[in-house]
Chain A
Amino acid sequence: MEQNRENLQQAIRQLPEYQPPAGLWDAIAGELDFDQTLEKPLQELPVYTPPADIWDSLAARIEQAPELAPEKGIRPAYKWLVGLMLLALGVWVFFPVVPPAAPASIPTAPAQVAEPIALNNQPQQTRTIQTNNTQKKAVKPTSQPRTAHRTEVVDDALIMACRRAEDPDYDLVETLCKEALPVCEEPQFKQLKAEFDDLTQAHTELKNALGQYADDPDLVSQLIDIEHARDQVLQQLMAMM
């Protein structure tokens, strides 16, 4: 329907371009509160998951990279912990700790009692099983397989050694005091050390009372308070040394 349309199209291609007046973009930027404007879109940005085979590919590349191969031996980050454990074990071996008699008000810590151990298919004869170093039970022979149990007492010294591994600073205090450091004989130091022992004892009891799941908020709060108090006392001990 149109003749010489190419002339019109040619002229349209040559139409001039215009630039917006100066300051228009500043005006637009001024009207926009970018933080508010972008808040919603940023929250709605899509989340993409990598292709399924990328992890296999990554694992293969790691295996091929010698610099990423796992270190042989103990990782440096744990060397200090292993050292402390060995130190604690050495102290325990050469300076065995005699556990003090527990006060009457302190119940036996559940952690010191191991889980019952099942004994099956024992010889059919009457024998005596010592439980908890105090109870003796007579076991009658039966023709059926029997199930008995016993309790094992965990050495307090071992618990102390483990606890010291958790408190390397306190372990240092004790080690230095064994070298007859004068400050260890000061009344204030002794008082702080006794206070630290009491707090540690309370900490252990509370932790045992909490059990494995620690689902009592009040007890957890008390445990945290005790830990803070212990830290403060320990800091004072260290400061005195």
Chain B
Amino acid sequence: MYTTAYRITGDVDWAGEALQDAFMQVFKHIGSFEQRSTLGAWIKTIVVRAALQKVDRRKSSMTSWPEEYSDTMLDWGSSPIDAMQLEQAIQRLPEGARAVFVLAEVEGYAHKEIAEMLDISEGTSKSQLFAAKKRLRELLSPQMMY
């Protein structure tokens, strides 16, 4: 949970506050848990939302990088990607694109779920993800071997 919050916010303190806010919400609204998902998934959604609220408070960059989805081929190289380098690259992404990338690729949410959580359209979610991957490929290119 904390790791997810940290990846979305990109800040240790903001991640801690997001986790704290999230668990306050969990305890206050545990009665409204409708068991449509597991308790863990429900809590994780609340943590993600709390982390996203922290990002929104600082700066909403979702529209600052309105790159349209394209059919450009992305190639992640023939050699393994170093996890720590990927982590650093993720942290260098714009906040909106980082949130979408973390939710889609790391946490496994569908674009529909991401669109609901971020209050954006599914198209925006897809374009933000594409932009994030394109940027990551650029950031990781020095180590990539084609």
* Interface pairs (12), CB distance under 8 Å: A2-B73, A8-B86, A11-B83, A15-B83, A15-B87, A15-B106, A19-B2, A20-B16, A27-B20, A28-B20, A31-B20, A32-B24
* A31 x B24 contact (CB < 8 A): yes
Chain B residues with Cβ below 8 Å from A21 are: 12, 16
B interface residues with partner A (beta carbon < 8 Å) = 2-3, 6, 12, 15-16, 19-20, 23-24, 27-28, 30-31, 71-84, 86-87, 105-106, 133
Counting from the closest, the 4 A-B pairs by CB-CB distance are A14-B83, A11-B81, A41-B31, A3-B75
A-B contact count (CB 8 A): 84
For the complex with contacts A10-B81, A31-B24, A41-B31, 18 further pairs of A-B residues with Cβ separation under 8 Å are A1-B72, A2-B73, A2-B76, A4-B76, A6-B76, A7-B78, A7-B79, A8-B81, A8-B105, A8-B133, A12-B105, A14-B83, A15-B3, A16-B83, A16-B84, A16-B87, A18-B2, A37-B28
| Smallest CB separation, B6 vs chain A (Å) | 5
**A31→B71 CA distance, assembly (Å):** 49
Smallest CB gap from A23: residue in B: B16
Selected contact of B24 from candidates A3, A11, A28, A40, CB within 8 Å: A28
* B86 x A4 contact (CB < 8 A): no
**A183→B79 CA distance, assembly (Å):** 110
A interface residues with partner B (beta carbon < 8 Å) = 1-8, 10-12, 14-21, 24, 27-28, 31-32, 34, 37-38, 40-41, 44
**A214→B57 CA distance, assembly (Å):** 70
Chain B residues with Cβ below 8 Å from A40 are: 31
**A220→B30 CA distance, assembly (Å):** 48
* A2 x B16 contact (CB < 8 A): no
| Smallest CB separation, A171 vs chain B (Å) | 58
Smallest CB gap from A3: residue in B: B75
